[in-house]
């Protein structure tokens, strides 16, 4: 049962206005558990790809909402948006439904040569920061991840992971 808020800014003496919806929550981990607003929470969920049986990867807000409602109907409180950054529509609908989201920056099965490529590293850092920045006002976004199934046990992989963690924390501590 999320508590969502809206703020509207109306500049004095100028045309135009801006509004944004946001939520406030505290999500932490410790003592072998996750905690939501100070209460322990067991994450029960599924993975979700942003694809639809009728439209493929061109999902509509209606098909995303159908997925969110199916996930809730399963009794889940958590969804992993896999291998790429979720859309703002998906996060907004999860905010409304009270689903928590594990979001990921683009990456899957990246090979050793990519993990020490300066351009690949630069783009991964840029994308991780953008993902965190774009989801800051979404109370559903509680876990930021990156590079699923990459060479994290290698020296290059560990170094890149540390850079990405630092990049994410520079946006959202």
pLDDT, averaged in runs of 10, over the chain (173 residues): 88 84 91 94 95 84 95 97 91 96 88 87 95 94 90 84 96 90
148: phi then psi, degrees, rounded to nearest 5: -55, 135
Burial code (b: 16+ CB inside 10 Å, e: under 16) for 120-151 equals: ebeebbebbbebbebbebbbbbbbbbbbbebb
pTM of the predicted model, to two decimals? 0.89
Q: What does the pLDDT read at residue 79? A: 98
């Amino acid at each position: 049962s999320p508590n969502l808020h809206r703020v509207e800014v109306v500049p004095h003496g100028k045309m135009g206005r801006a509004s944004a919806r946001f939520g406030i929550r505290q999500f932490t981990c410790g003592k072998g558990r996750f905690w939501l607003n100070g209460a322990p929470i067991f994450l029960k969920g599924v993975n979700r790809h942003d694809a639809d049986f009728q439209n493929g990867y061109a999902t509509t807000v209606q098909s995303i909402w159908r997925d969110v409602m199916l996930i809730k109907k399963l009794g889940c409180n958590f969804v992993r948006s896999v291998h790429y950054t979720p859309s703002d529509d998906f996060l907004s609908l999860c905010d409304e439904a009270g689903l928590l989201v594990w979001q990921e920056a683009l990456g899957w099965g990246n090979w050793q040569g990519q993990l020490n490529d300066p351009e690949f590293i630069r783009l991964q850092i840029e994308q991780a920061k953008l993902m965190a920045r774009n989801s800051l006002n979404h109370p559903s976004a509680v876990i930021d991840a990156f590079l699923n199934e990459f060479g994290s046990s290698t020296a290059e992989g560990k170094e890149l992971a540390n850079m990405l963690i630092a990049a994410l924390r520079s946006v959202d501590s």
